[in-house]
A and B are shown apart, each in its own frame.
Chain A
């Protein structure tokens, strides 16, 4: 399994320009060589387009660039440079001139960017860019999906569409909310769950084991963005055993409940979440309160590939009062995520692909390790006391494979 995951990492962990992505590859087809830029062969030299990285060449677009002093320059720019550019950006933009040389221009000196060499700036304000891929190129599959990324400050701008699966890790939610009308259906081995954004801040969740609903869950999350880097959330989930009473009256019908607060740092593509809360369980005890600490991370490596890790540590504070370790157990995981996307238009039922033929589903493939630590104990009937040892037995289960299929419905994220 580890070898398989590593192979996937190698296969998919490429720069977005080099992966087999519909958007980029179709742009490449019209700009796949320097002579295609403006119909002429560029000269050889240190700074010629020919000597640039293949991935940069592949995504060049003809543009007109207006400087703050009013001068208009024409040439070509890397698509990624265009996406990343803003007047406050630290990184300079590179303009490939028709002479074949490259001119580096301070981002703050750029007033506006328009696609094409004969484009007009008349209807544009300062600090704007207008890139219309559909009009200038053969419309690539998925190009109309998630166009809003150009205007959304929470998007890193490194990828050609917005990550639709930023609201959760393998199981735990991030503090990034689904937007109103967005949702997903997730199938984790035999567990099916459905999440839906009731508003831009409130997400509801329900799930159950299939085909027999031996375990079910309902929950909700309130989340909001507090600035460009941080989201916060609070929520609760309750697990049910619908047939508990048919087995025994002693089996609790709601054996596990979790209330949590969380904070997420980062954007939709790269983020880390810290969460904690209260977990009331009656599975291993007669009503034990455990405090979980969850640290999870998501790093998008390319349009279609992300690395996800979700890690839980369960602590029992009552143990501290008895001078014992509060550690109860932990869950650690690492997975690769094949990212799908949503349509720009509102769609709920039926389609597995977007209007432009892109998968609307996300796959998670990973490994999970569950660990628990049980201290040795001795019951003394004379004093009616249970003595606990500082030594404990560690039980590890795994690594177990984790496979999750998630189908995204609802419209793409809006800025």
Chain B
């Protein structure tokens, strides 16, 4: 397959072939990361700008490691979340990015759709590292890669995503990545944290909503627990974190309802004791750390596909 994307803004219009191409390339990157000297030259001379307008250590470090492993120069730009109030507009920042002349802009922003705004106004390739509630494409891809490693072919597999779906870019990207690969998805969680349209029979193709987590987990092939922001309680969306943990927390007893050995994932950072029990988070079925490792390889794969030169040979 010939790679033709200029940006990675969302995977909602990606074909299964495109997703497979990234996952295959990710496999090659895992090999690079296993070398004694973890360095390859395909991005030598390229500049990757990390523009994180919303706090994030994990994703930023993962992208930075990915870019450096491929020999890119890395520039960090951080800006306040909602810059309008501070008098610095996204438009201004984009002009600065354009003037800096980076080849790739990796951006995280609190406003859904902000990467589209940037991609329209810069010559650089834009990778969305998370925008508002909308998308987190590299998380979706790394989850797909991790699940495939654990389960093999995802066709006929059923994955449960539980938690705060309405505010979750991870949930949206997981759906957009796993469904084209043949998986079906059961969404679970409180109705107040589910998009209203998805509760009323208009959920995306390949997904269903089952508020009862026990029922959702019966015979499932894997579960992805989402992070619960503590402020949802103040917003009137939840009675209490305690009640949430009782009804929708991923516990050992609940995990036992899935197929034997079915894995547990979480995009991090985890609220242990709320959406996931510590015993599960660090237990034998947890793939949380593998998700982090695979994240670097997936980000390498995208950087390589967008602006890399062919050679992966050690320099």
Q: Say if A and B assemble together.
A: no
